[in-house]
């Protein structure tokens, strides 16, 4: 778990950003009882919060494109009965791409993604799960059978315009979401000349334009921080066209024989083009050797050189050491640099005040603690040959070995004797957690590591764990088939903070999800002994949470029948400042009572919204207008304050006419 990343995520949630959780699944072939949703790792599946999965979104992308009238649409086949998303639901997403005058734009690319430009706090974003559609002659597009989810983004691009985005697009089960028009406008230009310190033009310089932020990248597009690359002409001139205004950009510049630089942030204004000339200095070098503290050369160390003179354009040159531990940085300008050395088996090292031209830089790296051990069956002592391991770190002051997992250390291992080797990210107290099919997640005894020394030989004795079994019922006691049942630690809470923690959330309990069979029954095996709670969801009911479920080794605990509430429903209209219905406005409901969750909806072209299957209780509800780049950054908070009210809902109630009026204030 990364504390800084968690804090950023929580702050983003407070500002109306989004989190992405994952789920996956498969039910029992005969429809009775259940199987874990992830066959490959049945006891570690992360649970869902009424939304589709990354794989589900990828399924959309894999479907063939077809033309329906003038609309180029995307769809996926009807899911099989064992598809867990069937319990969550699907919706439809439609819209139009126009220019500033409202004229439809044909052949615009519209990308449906869970990672819009607000997803800067996510790492290693897999863009293969995005899906594209192309607008027809009337500028319209459609995405069919989209898994219900609260925070999609729609990104529109076209070769003759700058890119635009509609963020926080909500897709509800059984609802056609009609998004506000995606309006494309011609972008601005960033142009200038690349020259050297003597005033000579630098032809064939390579310039890469990217947004100046921790933004996720979509390769090949001119926005969202993408790698847009051009080359200066024979006179050293360059020009980026259709750059989205209202953003700050950085240009990475490199040329043969010159030191590469990153320009300071360049502001692109709404009403004028930007001219920015670039000066390069003749390249200099840094070279040296990286060894371990015992003098052994280290191959594959990443070396980065950062210019320390803040009055000059920054640079970030990177290279790796060869098999003799030697490195050369050949594309830096003259100056003093900070050298940072990184290797997965060693503690990162930062050396300051290395001057360009220094060919004898020496860096020593200290090995990270290396832990070895074996994973065996606790009852027979036989080695387990196919398993996963990861480190867990005890929580300071926590009781009963409360710990957090470090997913970055997780490794899949196949070894005939069940042996493993794992590197700790730092010195401290740890446990090794074993994960294997047919066993409960099992942790080793606690041990301590120190820098520069090998850790102890660790034994992970895998146990079978305990079992939870029960039945899910609906109205009139009728069994509910296809409901999802997710297990969590007793401390878990259905809120954005816990969602942000993801696989790094503290607790000893196994997090997994199963689906009920035709008779409404479920059985969840191989649970690590702990106190549990379960969260039960189905598309036709409000969710239910059952707490205080102890699981013991080798025991089966019966869960009292879970009666899913019918839920409540509300609907209404959002009126914009002009007095007309507002399409694309967002409605959010935040619970003030326990065991409830956040609900979200978006208005259609008539400004109407509907939210169903709401658990009874008290909620704060508000409406906000669609966001654009040009908006007042505080507008969402202004709308929230002016529209927020409190509602109390009863099970089975239908509250009609919950309308909102947005003002220009």
Model confidence pLDDT, tens digit, residues 231-252 = 999 999 999 998 888 888 999 9
Are the CB atoms for 171 and 148 separated by under 8 Å?
Answer: yes
Residue 496: band (very low, low, confident or very high) from pLDDT cuts 50, 70, 90: low
- Minimal CA–CA distance to 210: which of 183, 237, 187, 240? 240
What is the Cα–Cα distance from 119 to 602, expressed in whole angstroms? 20
Backbone angles phi, psi at 109, to 5 degrees: -95, 125
Please state which of the ranges 49-58, 148-157, 450-459, 516-525 shows the lowest mean pLDDT.
49-58
* Separation CA 537–CA 84 (nearest Å): 11
Position 621 scores a pLDDT of 95
Q: What percent of the chain has pLDDT over 90?
A: 54
Mean pLDDT for the stretch of residues 391-395: 87
Query: What is the distance between the alpha carbons of residues 45 and 409, in angstroms, rounded to a whole number?
Result: 17
Quick check: 115 pLDDT over 70? yes
631 or 351, higher pLDDT = 351
pLDDT band at residue 15, thresholds of 50, 70 and 90? very low
Average pLDDT estimate for 641-654: 93
Q: Across the chain, what does the average pLDDT equal?
A: 81
Tens digit of pLDDT for each residue in 262-285? 898 999 988 899 999 999 999 999
**Least-confidence region, from 50-59, 297-306, 357-366:** 50-59
Most confident option among 121-135, 221-235, 397-411, 412-426 = 412-426
Answer whether residue 88 shows pLDDT above 70.
Answer: no
User: In whole angstroms, what separates CA 344 from the centre of its chain?
Assistant: 23
Other beta carbons within 10 angstroms of residue 656's beta carbon come to: 10
* pLDDT, tens digit, 9 for 90 and up, residues 324-336: 999 999 988 888 9
Q: Which of 130-144, 421-435, 487-501 has the lowest mean pLDDT?
A: 487-501
Which of 624, 511, 536, 507 has the alpha carbon at shortest distance from 21? 511
What's the average model confidence in pLDDT over 444-471? 91
Confidence (pLDDT) at 31: 31
Residue 13 has pLDDT above 80, yes or no: no
Residue 401 has pLDDT above 80, yes or no: no
Exposed, middle or buried: residue 324 (CB in 10 Å: 0-12, 13-18, 19+)? Answer: exposed
Q: What domains lie within the chain, and their CATH numbers?
A: 50-183 (2.60.40.1120), 188-280 (2.60.40.1120), 287-300+319-365 (no CATH), 370-462 (2.60.40.1120), 568-661 (2.60.40.10)
Q: Are strands 521-527 and 188-196 parallel, antiparallel or unpaired?
A: unpaired
Supply 649's token pair.
Answer: 């809902």
The mean per-residue pLDDT over the stretch 613-630 comes to: 86
What stretches of 68-165 show up as alpha helix (H) in DSSP? Answer: none
Region of poorest pLDDT, from 46-55, 187-196, 477-486: 46-55
Out of 20-24, 121-125, 210-214, pick the least confident.
20-24
- pLDDT value at 70 more than 80: no
pLDDT for 119: 54
Choose the weakest-confidence range: 22-26, 366-370, 505-509: 22-26
Count CA atoms within 13 Å of residue 157 on its CB side: 16
| pLDDT grade for 307, boundaries at 50, 70 and 90 | confident
Where does 110-152 have alpha helices with state H? none
% of the chain beyond a pLDDT of 70: 79
Instruction: Give the residue among 355, 371, 364 at the shortest CA–CA distance from 432.
Output: 371
pLDDT of residue 84: 46
pLDDT for residue 247: 82
Q: Is the pLDDT of residue 254 over 60?
A: yes
pLDDT tens, residue by residue, 98-114? 999 999 999 999 999 98
Of residues 297 and 57, more confidence is placed in 297
pTM of the model: 0.71
List the single range of 303-312, 513-522, 580-589 with lowest mean pLDDT.
303-312
Q: Are the beta carbons of 116 and 82 closer than 8 angstroms?
A: no
- Phi first, then psi, for residue 497 (nearest 5°) are -60, -50
């Amino acid at each position: 778990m990364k504390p800084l990343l968690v804090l950023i995520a929580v702050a983003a949630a407070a500002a109306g950003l989004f989190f992405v959780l994952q789920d996956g699944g498969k039910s029992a072939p005969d429809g009775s009882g259940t199987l874990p949703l992830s066959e490959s790792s049945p006891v570690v599946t992360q649970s869902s919060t009424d939304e589709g999965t990354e794989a589900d979104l990828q399924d959309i992308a894999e479907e063939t494109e077809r033309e329906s009238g003038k609309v180029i649409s995307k769809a996926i086949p009807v899911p099989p009965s064992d598809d867990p998303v069937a319990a969550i639901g699907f919706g439809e997403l439609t819209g139009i791409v126009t220019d500033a005058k409202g004229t439809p734009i044909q052949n615009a690319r519209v990308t449906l993604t869970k990672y819009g430009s607000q997803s800067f706090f996510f790492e290693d974003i897999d863009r293969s799960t995005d899906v594209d559609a192309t607008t027809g002659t009337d500028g319209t597009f459609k995405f069919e059978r989209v898994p219900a989810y609260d925070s999609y983004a729609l990104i529109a691009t076209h070769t003759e315009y700058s890119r635009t985005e509609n963020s926080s697009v909500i897709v509800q089960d059984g609802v056609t979401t009609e998004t506000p028009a995606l309006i494309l406008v011609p972008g601005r230009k960033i142009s200038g000349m690349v020259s050297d310190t003597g005033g000579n033009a630098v032809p064939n310089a390579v310039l890469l334009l990217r947004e100046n932020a921790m933004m996720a990248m979509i390769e090949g597009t001119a926005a969202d921080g993408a790698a847009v690359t051009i080359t200066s002409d024979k006179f050293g001139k360059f020009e980026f066209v259709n750059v989205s205004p209202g953003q700050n950009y950085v240009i990475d510049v490199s040329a043969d024989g010159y030191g590469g630089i990153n320009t300071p942030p360049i502001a692109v204004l709404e009403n004028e083009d930007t001219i920015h000339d670039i000066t390069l200095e003749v390249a200099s070098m840094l070279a040296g050797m990286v060894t371990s503290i015992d003098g052994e050369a280290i191959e594959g160390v990443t070396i980065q050189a950062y210019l320390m003179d803040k009055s000059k354009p920054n640079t970030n040159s990177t290279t790796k050491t060869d098999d003799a531990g030697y490195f050369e940085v050949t594309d830096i300008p003259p100056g003093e640099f900070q050298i940072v050395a990184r290797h997965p088996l060693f503690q990162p090292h930062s050396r300051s005040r290395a001057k360009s031209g220094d060919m004898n830089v020496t860096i020593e790296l200290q090995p990270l603690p290396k832990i070895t051990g074996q994973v065996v069956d606790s009852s027979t002592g036989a080695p387990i040959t196919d398993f996963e391991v990861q480190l867990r770190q005890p929580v300071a002051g926590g009781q009963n070995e409360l710990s957090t997992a470090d997913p970055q250390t997780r490794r899949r291992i196949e070894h005939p004797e069940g042996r493993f080797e794992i590197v700790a990210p730092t010195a401290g107290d740890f446990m090794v957690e074993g994960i294997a099919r047919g066993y409960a997640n099992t942790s080793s005894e606690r041990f301590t590591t120190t820098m520069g020394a090998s850790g102890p030989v660790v034994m992970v004795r895998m146990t079978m764990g305990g079992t939870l079994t029960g039945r899910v019922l609906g109205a009139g006691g009728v069994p509910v088939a296809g409901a999802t049942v997710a297990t969590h630690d007793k401390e878990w809470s259905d809120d954005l903070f816990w969602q942000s923690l993801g696989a790094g959330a503290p607790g000893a309990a196994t997090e997994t999800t199963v689906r009920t069979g035709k008779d409404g029954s479920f059985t969840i095996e191989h649970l690590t002994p702990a106190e549990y709670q379960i969260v039960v969801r189905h598309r036709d009911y409000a969710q239910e949470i059952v707490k205080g479920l102890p699981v013991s080794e080798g025991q089966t605990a019966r869960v009292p029948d879970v009666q899913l509430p019918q839920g409540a429903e509300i609907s209404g209209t959002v009126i914009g400042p002009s007095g007309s219905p507002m399409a694309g406005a967002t409605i959010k409901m935040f619970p003030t009572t326990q065991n409830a969750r956040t609900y979200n909806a978006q208005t259609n072209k008539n400004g109407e919204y509907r939210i169903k299957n709401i658990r009874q209780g008290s909620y704060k509800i508000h409406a906000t207008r669609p966001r654009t780049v040009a908006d007042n950054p505080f507008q969402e908070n202004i709308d929230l304050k002016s529209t927020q009210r409190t509602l109390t809902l009863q099970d089975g109630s239908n509250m009609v006419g919950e309308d909102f009026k947005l003002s220009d204030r």
